[in-house]
Amino acid sequence: MTSALLRLETVSRSYGARRAVDDVSVDLDPGARHAVIGPNGAGKSTLLHLIAGTLRPTSGRVHYAGHDIGRWPAHRRARAGIARTWQHPALARPLTALQNVLLAVPGQRLAGLRTDSRAMAAAYEALAQVGLTAHADRPAGQLAYGDQRRLEIAVALAARPRLLLLDEPSAGLSTSEITDLTALIRTLPADITVLLVDHNLDFVAATCDTITVLHHGQHITTGTPTAIREHPDVRRAYLGADAPTSPAPASSTTTAAVTGTPVLRVRNLSAGYTGAPVLTDITLDAPAGRVTAVVGRNGAGKTTLINTIAGLHPAEPGTDIVLHGQNLTGCDTRRRARAGLGMVPQGRRLFAGLTVDEHLALPRPHPTRTRAVDARQVLDLFPALAERRHHRPHQLSGGEQQMLALARALLAAPDVLLLDEPSEGLAPAVVGQLAAIITGLAADGTAVLLAEQNLALACQVAHDIAVLDRARVVRHVITADIREYPTDLHDLLTVPTATPTPS
């Protein structure tokens, strides 16, 4: 019928009047390294769902290995050799890394784990491919975020796929981890065809030979990385040339606010997992009207820090977490929220069965809170959500999901907002909008504590930066100093420190 391993013929997927994917046609030859890029809301993840079988097309055909698989369920496609990863790691967190991979080895069942030497060898081979052999016996939930992403790829590879679908594989990874991931994908056997979605254009260009660009669900062009970079319509759509990308300069009111007593004071914070220390003697302040960024390599403890302050992870004895002079160390998450602590977690953690409107109806500021924000004001801040009020999270783009998580947190009118990797998986134009929103919140008097892998964003919005390394804060720096000396953190972070030129 065709030499292509995968052929999409005018495939569409509609949600009411909205077409998330609109008559897209793509061919992938065996062994291809092919990427799909585009701004948030372009339909990239929806396209992967249509190929994997977690969604069915409204119209069009999906051909795989000479078969029309449009009506095949996801498990049948998986058995036929289609494996995938997700935008956020989907792992069995209580199981070890080895057990997660064993579940994907063909012919394995949960009751039979560790009983088949052939399956064990295949599982260790998959772990070795992604460099996780040393972590084989660690629970997946205790792995660093970058290691969880690599583990998910190992799970996919253990299934012996012919077609590997990767959804935002570089999101949340450090530069060295992205380099390793690039090498892994380029050295996969030629009989594995790769289709990946990612926002990191350098990673895409280094990994893939062909790129397809989507915008508003429609196909713009397909070509080589060089041709794509030079295509004017691609630059306009993907980079968002007209979108604001720089925050407004801090006002005199904000400058005055940062000199006052910190709203949040963290002293001697220590935390760990099953006796292994992850954070030791952390000291941080978050003043009103100021953005404090926490940066560090994956595994440095950024998410653990945010979760411990929010009350989602227990702190070790001796820790003091003080908000408005009230010690919250022993308080549960609900009490911390009522005291004025808000959070946007990594992975967004939205409710799959609730619409945008229903999410925004949930938060209720405590009666003692002096600040108030209503749903109308939030929708004015995020106009894209106003057009999706009756949609559920799976019908939203990654950027829209991130905005919904942020909107939900703002409705509780927090005095301190904790943001954990808010730029993960977002297109450059949306990151620019996010930067403007964070800066605006600080200008209105909110204290923001930002844990972020994207150092460029951290330097763009933060007033000061704390560097986590080996369980401790090893450096506090004023962001203006980093802008003046952009290589100052390189030895600690081993990541590019190029930042937007300060205005």
Tens of pLDDT, residue by residue over 251-295, are 333 333 344 568 999 999 999 876 678 899 999 999 999 999 998
Q: Look at 490 and 308; give whichever has higher pLDDT.
A: 308
Q: Could you tell me the pLDDT band of residue 239, with boundaries at 50, 70 and 90?
A: low
Pick the last residue of a domain from 188, 214, 239. 239
Q: What is the pLDDT of residue 64?
A: 96
Paired sense of beta strands 416-420 and 341-344, if any: parallel
Q: Look at 334 and 251; give whichever has higher pLDDT.
A: 334
- 63-77, 231-245, 415-429, 461-475: which is most confident: 63-77
Name the residue range of residue 44's domain: 6-239
Q: Residues 189, 226: one domain?
A: yes
Residue 441 falls inside a structural domain: yes
Q: What is the pLDDT of residue 294?
A: 93
Q: Residues 118, 201: one domain?
A: yes
Asked if residue 209 has pLDDT above 60, the reply is: yes
Q: Could you tell me the pLDDT band of residue 56, with boundaries at 50, 70 and 90?
A: very high
Which whole number is the average pLDDT over 131-148?
Answer: 89
Q: Residues 24, 48: one domain?
A: yes
Q: Residues 12, 102: one domain?
A: yes
Pick the last residue of a domain from 204, 239, 274. 239
Q: Residues 50, 23: one domain?
A: yes
Q: What is the pLDDT of residue 451?
A: 92
- Considering only 251-255, 332-336, 363-367, 486-490, which range has the smallest mean pLDDT? 251-255
Tens of pLDDT, residue by residue over 165-207, are 999 888 767 778 888 899 999 999 999 999 999 888 889 999 9
- Considering only 393-402, 453-462, 489-498, which range has the smallest mean pLDDT? 489-498
Which whole number is the average pLDDT over 66-74?
Answer: 94
Q: Residues 289, 173: one domain?
A: no
Residue 467 falls inside a structural domain: yes
Q: What is the CATH number of the domain that holds 290?
A: 3.40.50.300
CA atoms within 13 A on the CB side of 409: 29
What is the percent of the chain where pLDDT is above 90?
A: 45
Please provide the average confidence, as pLDDT, over all residues in the chain.
Answer: 84
- Considering only 6-10, 211-215, 372-376, which range has the smallest mean pLDDT? 372-376
Q: Could you tell me the pLDDT band of residue 244, with boundaries at 50, 70 and 90?
A: very low
| CA 214/CA 39 separation, integer angstroms | 8
Q: Look at 257 and 391; give whichever has higher pLDDT.
A: 391
Which whole number is the average pLDDT over 321-328?
Answer: 93
Quote the distance between the C-alpha of residue 294 and its chain's center: 16
Q: Could you tell me the pLDDT band of residue 494, with boundaries at 50, 70 and 90?
A: very low
Pick the last residue of a domain from 206, 239, 272. 239
Q: Residues 179, 52: one domain?
A: yes
Q: Could you tell me the pLDDT band of residue 395, with boundaries at 50, 70 and 90?
A: confident
Q: Residues 301, 422: one domain?
A: yes
Q: Which two tokens stand for residue 170?
A: 């570089």
| CA 19/CA 217 separation, integer angstroms | 7
Residue 383 falls inside a structural domain: no
Alpha-carbon dihedral angle through residues 138, 140, 141, 143, given to the nearest 10 degrees: 70
Q: Residues 268, 202: one domain?
A: no
Tokens 């460029």 found at: 456
Residue 366 falls inside a structural domain: no
- Considering only 51-60, 205-214, 287-296, 493-502, which range has the smallest mean pLDDT? 493-502
Q: Residues 346, 470: one domain?
A: yes
| CA 334/CA 205 separation, integer angstroms | 45
Asked if residue 47 has pLDDT above 90, the reply is: yes
Asked if residue 403 has pLDDT above 90, the reply is: no
Q: Could you tell me the pLDDT band of residue 496, with boundaries at 50, 70 and 90?
A: very low
Q: What is the pLDDT of residue 489?
A: 58
Residue 377 falls inside a structural domain: no
Q: What is the pLDDT of residue 485?
A: 55
Beta bridge mates, 420: 451
Residue 183 falls inside a structural domain: yes
For the chain, how many structural domains are there in total? 2
Q: Residues 327, 288: one domain?
A: yes
Residues near 209 by Cβ (< 8 Å), separated by ≥ 6?
Answer: 32, 33, 34, 224, 225
Which whole number is the average pLDDT over 37-66?
Answer: 91
Q: Could you tell me the pLDDT band of residue 133, with boundaries at 50, 70 and 90?
A: very high
Residue 224 falls inside a structural domain: yes
Q: What is the pLDDT of residue 141?
A: 87
Q: What is the pLDDT of residue 398?
A: 76
| CA 285/CA 163 separation, integer angstroms | 48
Q: Could you tell me the pLDDT band of residue 249, with boundaries at 50, 70 and 90?
A: very low
Q: Residues 259, 232: one domain?
A: no
CA atoms within 13 A on the CB side of 65: 13
Residue 357 falls inside a structural domain: no
Q: Write phi, then psi, for 229 (nearest 5 degrees).
A: -60, -35
